Amino acid sequence: MNAVILVATMSIVTIGIRFFPFLIFRKQTPQYISYLGRVLPPAIIGMLVIYCLKDVNLTASPFGMPELIATAFVAGIQVWKRNSLISILAGTFVYMLLIQIIF
Amino acid sequence: MNLKTVKQAFYKSLPVLAGYVVLGIGFGILLRNAGYGLLWSAAMSLFIYAGSMQYVGVGLLTGGASVLTTAITTFMVNARHLFYSISMIDTYKEAGKYKPYMIFALTDETYSLLCDGTAPEGVDVNLYRTLVSFFNQCYWVTGSIIGNLIGSLLPFSTAGIEFSMTALFVASFTEQWLTTKNHVPALTGLLCTLLSLVLFGRENFLIPAMLMITLVLTILRRFEENHL
């Protein structure tokens, strides 16, 4: 029973966070919030990139090499092909090869 | 419901498929090992639907956390979603009946697919965004159910497949870089987060990073206006 309450709590808080900005700016979006809406997406994606790489250890072997190589590879393929699906599949494949076979 | 919209939405959601199924399986295995079966797995993925929070949630369940601790932890782990919602207010403005589900299902990955505000030509935009969100949740729920069912019996090594999430964000970042002229917001995001990581460590850097990003972007706006 306790677990049901905890899961419900997690659910309600998560939903609350996602709805809160929509509820308070329902009528008219202030210019400042619209501005944030424009500039935040690239900034947040940048943040998420770092967030995903936060556990990479640069001080011990292999010094983050698999992540560095695979990340550069994804960016390179994206610049070349402009197709996210291809970049992600190719990059993940390269990363799996790197950590399972090479490093 | 037009078929083109469904197809385009499915295609758009594909980059998330592998990552969500795999991370969902990971979550399902973890939850099973903690003594919670299939229904729990499905219920959490249906009603919470926040990847990293569900991983943290397994710890809360097994550790017998209080409701207050659970609420605060959930808030800390998911606070970044405030940002996603703020930046989608205008994009989702006219979404009508689809809007509640679109807001509910706005995860990191869905956000990264939809935050540029574009949609393919000739699709029903709101249905398209709803379906992208929905397909993503299907992958996540499916993964967490599979994980709970099969446990750790996978026949091949999937080590490294979790990189697909990193790759998704790197690809989104690169694409946004290529399609925008002003790179200041993107660089602000990268640099503030790096600085925050160095200053606060990997456990606590996310909220300071978000505050720093907001502060810097706010200052830059003042600066921009003074020059107009």
Task: Pick the more confident residue, A17 or B160.
Answer: A17
Write the ipTM: 0.89
Average pLDDT for residues B46-60, to the nearest whole number? 89
Measured distance CA(B221)–CA(A102) in Å, rounded = 47
Contact between residue B51 and residue B107 where contact means Cβ atoms under 8 Å apart: yes
Average pLDDT for residues B54-61, to the nearest whole number? 88
Tens digits of residue pLDDT in A69-94: 999 999 999 999 988 888 988 998 99
Whether A46 is covered by a domain: the verdict is: no
Measured distance CA(B112)–CA(B26) in Å, rounded = 22
Whether A48 is covered by a domain: the verdict is: no
Of A10, A22, A85, the CB nearest to B70: A10
Percent of chain B with pLDDT over 90: 52
Please tell me the total count of domains within chain A. Answer: 2
Residue B225 is predicted with a pLDDT of 61
Most confidently modeled of A68-77, B49-58, B143-152? A68-77
Residue A90 is predicted with a pLDDT of 93
Average pLDDT for residues B106-119, to the nearest whole number? 92
Whether A47 is covered by a domain: the verdict is: no
Q: Looking at the structure, do residues A29 and A58 belong to the same domain, yes or no? A: no
Average pLDDT for residues A1-27, to the nearest whole number? 93
Mutate to test the interface with B, among A48, A59, A85, A97 (most CBs of B within 10 A): A48
- Residues of chain B with C-beta less than 8 angstroms from the C-beta of A85: 11, 14-15
Residue B1 is predicted with a pLDDT of 63
Q: Looking at the structure, do residues A59 and A91 belong to the same domain, yes or no? A: yes
Whether A45 is covered by a domain: the verdict is: no
Contact between residue B54 and residue B45 where contact means Cβ atoms under 8 Å apart: yes
Q: Looking at the structure, do residues A35 and A60 belong to the same domain, yes or no? A: no
Whether A27 is covered by a domain: the verdict is: yes
Tens digits of residue pLDDT in B25-40: 888 888 888 889 999 9
Average pLDDT for residues B200-214, to the nearest whole number? 88
Whether A85 is covered by a domain: the verdict is: yes
Average pLDDT for residues B122-139, to the nearest whole number? 96
Residue A37 is predicted with a pLDDT of 82
Residue B47 is predicted with a pLDDT of 97
Percent of chain B with pLDDT over 70: 95
Of B36, B161, B178, the CB nearest to A92: B161
To the nearest 10°, the Cα dihedral for B39, B65, A13, A32? -140
Q: Looking at the structure, do residues A59 and A25 belong to the same domain, yes or no? A: no
Domain containing residue A14: 1-40
Q: Looking at the structure, do residues A36 and A57 belong to the same domain, yes or no? A: no
Q: Looking at the structure, do residues A34 and A66 belong to the same domain, yes or no? A: no
Q: Looking at the structure, do residues A101 and A58 belong to the same domain, yes or no? A: yes
- Pick from A36, A41, A51: which is nearest to B180 by CA? A41
Supply the DSSP string of A27-63, one letter for each residue: S---HHHHHHHHHHHHHHHHHHHHHHTTT--SSSTTT
Residue B228 is predicted with a pLDDT of 41
**Distance from B2 to chain A by nearest Cα, in Å?**
23
Which pTM value belongs to this model?
0.83
Residue B152 is predicted with a pLDDT of 61
Measured distance CA(B44)–CA(B172) in Å, rounded = 28
Q: Looking at the structure, do residues A34 and A72 belong to the same domain, yes or no? A: no
Instruction: Kindly indicate the confidence band of residue B13, based on its pLDDT and cuts at 50, 70 and 90.
Output: very high
Residue B163 is predicted with a pLDDT of 84
Angle at B110 between CA A55 and CA B121, to 5 degrees: 140
Pairs of CB atoms within 8 A across A/B:
254
Average pLDDT for residues B70-83, to the nearest whole number? 87
Contact A10 B90 (CB under 8 A): no
Tens digits of residue pLDDT in A34-61: 888 888 888 988 988 998 898 888 888 8
Q: Looking at the structure, do residues A21 and A63 belong to the same domain, yes or no? A: no
Of A14, A21, A45, the CB nearest to B48: A14
- Is residue B227 over pLDDT 60? no
Mutate to test the interface with A, among B169, B192, B200 (most CBs of A within 10 A): B169
**Distance from A73 to chain B by nearest Cα, in Å?**
9
Tens digits of residue pLDDT in B147-186: 899 866 766 666 777 788 788 889 989 988 998 889 999 9
Whether A87 is covered by a domain: the verdict is: yes
Q: Looking at the structure, do residues A59 and A86 belong to the same domain, yes or no? A: yes
